[in-house]
Amino acid sequence: MSPAFGGDSSSKSVINALQILEEVATMGPGVTAVELSRHLGLSKSATYRLVNLLAQEEYLVRTPDLGGFALGARIDRMLGAAAGPPVSDQLRTALDEVRSGLRFGVHLFGCHRAGTSRARLSLMDIDPDYPLSDPGRLLHDLTASAAGRLMTAIGSGHPAAAPTHASQIGSFIPNFGCVSVPVWGADSTLVAALTIAAPAKHIENPETLVRLLADPARRVAEIMAPGEE
């Protein structure tokens, strides 16, 4: 991809910034500024200036090891806005209470048409302190995320026969993963997945995290039930 673009310097900077975002989305989380500079044909100084600006404005975020970059919270919000309406104040309050008691990221993903060829996830409420590293892949590859794996495993099944959780390690960030538990609707269909993102050592034996999510998942289900505010 070439950074060449006609027009003034500010226009070129805008195009270069957009190209950086596209390249991060394509290459995945952990891509470094040096790699971006090489792939896009930009000078290192221009690349560092743009990635720092994009990170400052939350379009990019540094990966946990601080070695590279991933798509940031503002990209998450853009995708979330396209995926569905914002959650209610009551649901947001309940999720914030869960987050305040944990040192890990807590996300809520909507589960739609589970068990069909049109099954998909949506971003209902993403923890602002732990932005997703690759929301585009999470939404479009159900095999990559814990929420997608949970929805696939449950399909159109009943809660009594469903798995209690699903997990992934390293799909998005090395030595980092997540655990998802189901949120059931009033008609016993899967409506959402409540997810904790944490270092791999916590995901390898997820029973503690699953227990921590059990009561919040039931509370989320109550709030999301028809007639609840």
Is the pTM value of this prediction over 0.85?
A: no
Q: For residues 10-24, b (16+ Cβ closer than 10 Å) or e, as one string?
A: eeebeebbebbbebb
Residue 108's nearest CA partner among 197, 25, 228 is: 197
What is the distance between the alpha carbons of residues 212 and 203, in angstroms, rounded to a whole number? 13
pLDDT, tens digit, 9 for 90 and up, residues 9-55 = 778 889 999 999 888 877 777 889 999 999 999 999 999 999 999 99
pLDDT, tens digit, 9 for 90 and up, residues 189-211 = 999 999 999 999 999 999 999 99
Within 10 A of 192 (CB to CB), how many other CB atoms are there? 28
Token pair belonging to 163: 């798995």
